[in-house]
């Protein structure tokens, strides 16, 4: 019964979001992020701990500002996903602009498939179809299945609207290799924590369990890795920013090359997050397998900083 209620509430919010103008949807998202998630304390301790570790020299006021911005972004990303579900291709395409498309087109011309590596940054669900409509390539996206099967089916339907193939995260190696062999652009959100057996890469100054899939697929197939992130603009549109990850100069065994390439793309992602820290999903337990974090059990900040936020 609880999953049914959850699904009905989910659909109700989605239905309502489709009837408001885009600007109103953004404001509703801000209200959801600040008025519901932030004020009710949703993952607030995790968010604060992540930010204070990532920016140890920042003032409490700066951390508080970024924290509130991150909650506003999260709320907007949720509502924008709903809003986009009922919009035409022309409407969605107009909301996304490409800053430096030459990087992307150069990578596509190599005819080896493409790994579009992104993150829970900006409006990440909006990005998939908004970007797909600009790019003359077939898309496949590795996705995390939702616990509620009916909600998962609804979200999957939205992701597949414009001929995007979805591949479930997990035992997906064969499907990803097939998609790259078919010269598709494979979208991977590679910023969340990997399992303990992942490769540990420095990320914001701490060793972080990081998924090795993007690097392993690139080295196995020759597909280039291009980071793509949506940066929110003052007028409400999104600017897609691209940066290719260099693959030259890797050395050692294949495992070592995977580690080096993973470290390169993690460093590029960190650079962009530092430019727009309020765009990233700081609520995620990104460092949960870092040894000191496991020992502290996310309780590193106990000096009243949470109250100051």
Domain that holds residue 145: 2-308
What percentage of residues in the chain have a pLDDT greater than 90?
A: 67
Write down the pLDDT at residue 299. 42
Write down the pLDDT at residue 163. 87
Domain count, the chain: 1
pLDDT score of 2 more than 90: no
Confidence of residue 296 (pLDDT cuts 50, 70, 90): low
pLDDT score of 309 more than 50: no
Confidence of residue 64 (pLDDT cuts 50, 70, 90): very high
- Summarize the confidence of residues 268-294 as an average pLDDT: 92
pLDDT score of 304 more than 50: no
Model confidence pLDDT, tens digit, residues 16-53: 888 899 989 988 999 999 998 999 999 999 999 999 99
Confidence of residue 305 (pLDDT cuts 50, 70, 90): very low
Closest CA to 48 of 66, 27, 33, 31: 66
DSSP letter for each residue of 242-300? EEEPP-TT--SSHHHHHHHHHHHHHHHHHHHHHHSGGGB-TTS-TTTTSHHHHHHTT--
**pTM attached to this predicted model:** 0.90
Closest CA to 206 of 296, 292, 303: 292
Confidence of residue 294 (pLDDT cuts 50, 70, 90): low
pLDDT score of 14 more than 60: yes
Model confidence pLDDT, tens digit, residues 202-236: 999 999 999 999 999 999 999 999 999 999 999 88
């Amino acid at each position: 019964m609880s999953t049914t209620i959850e699904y009905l509430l989910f659909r109700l919010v989605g239905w309502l979001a489709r009837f408001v103008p885009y600007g109103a949807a953004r404001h509703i998202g801000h209200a959801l992020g600040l008025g519901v998630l932030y004020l009710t304390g949703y993952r607030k301790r995790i968010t604060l701990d992540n930010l204070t570790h990532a920016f140890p020299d920042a003032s409490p006021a700066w951390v508080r500002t970024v924290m509130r911005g991150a909650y506003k972004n999260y709320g907007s990303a949720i509502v924008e996903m709903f809003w986009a579900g009922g919009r035409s291709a022309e409407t969605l395409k107009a909301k996304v602009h490409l800053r430096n498309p030459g990087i992307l087109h150069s990578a596509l011309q190599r005819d080896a498939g493409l790994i579009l590596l992104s993150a829970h940054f900006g409006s990440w669900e909006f990005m998939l179809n908004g970007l797909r409509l600009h790019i003359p390539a077939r898309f496949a996206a590795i996705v995390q299945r939702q616990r509620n099967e009916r909600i998962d089916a609804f979200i999957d339907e939205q992701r597949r609207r414009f001929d995007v193939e979805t591949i479930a995260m997990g035992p997906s190696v064969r499907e990803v290799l097939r998609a790259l062999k078919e010269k598709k652009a494979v979208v991977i959100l590679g910023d969340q924590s990997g399992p303990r057996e992942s490769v540990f890469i420095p990320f914001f100054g701490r060793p972080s369990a990081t998924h090795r899939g993007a690097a392993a697929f690139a080295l196995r197939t020759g597909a280039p890795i291009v980071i793509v992130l949506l940066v929110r603009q003052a007028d409400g549109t999104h600017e897609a920013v691209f940066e290719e990850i260099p693959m030259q100069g890797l050395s050692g065994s294949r495992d070592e090359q995977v580690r080096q390439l993973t470290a390169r793309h993690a460093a590029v992602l960190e650079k962009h997050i530092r430019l727009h820290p309020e765009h990233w999903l700081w609520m995620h337990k990104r460092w949960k397998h870092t040894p000191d974090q496991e020992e502290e059990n996310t309780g590193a900040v106990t000096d009243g900083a949470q109250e100051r936020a």
